Amino acid sequence: MEKIPYTNTSIYFDDSFSSLVKYIDLDFSNIFLITQLKLANDSILIDTLEYKLSETSGKWLGEKRLSLVEHKLLFKKNIDLIKDSINYLSIRNSMRLNNVISPIENLENILDLGLLIEPSK
């Protein structure tokens, strides 16, 4: 689980997104992510998020480029953070194979996961 520190320069954000880049031959049509956002005031927000990556027909959602697909996935709306504070975000997958209790350690064909923050206008 990697922690991504970030410092905000404005107090209020309209939306934040996860950006997921994967190869086109990922074996799953959805993904479950567990996020933990530790705020400067020591409060912790934990969420389990499910994102649909393809339609039931098998067509990938997201922006396709050659053998890659990039998904822009909504993470949080209307975030109110303390100005110039350092906050930590941890993200891990919670994917499992059928009839297996433990989660998959490393999802093959996932290349990158990032955070996009859109300040309020």
Answer yes or no: is pLDDT of 61 > 70: yes
| For the chain, domain boundaries | 2-119
Of 94, 53, 97, the closest CA to residue 72 belongs to 53
pTM: 0.73
Fold of the 2-119 domain: Jelly Rolls (2.60.120)
Q: What is the pLDDT of residues 5-46, one digit of tens each?
A: 555 544 445 556 677 676 667 788 888 888 888 888 888 989
Q: Which residue has the tokens 């107090």?
A: 11
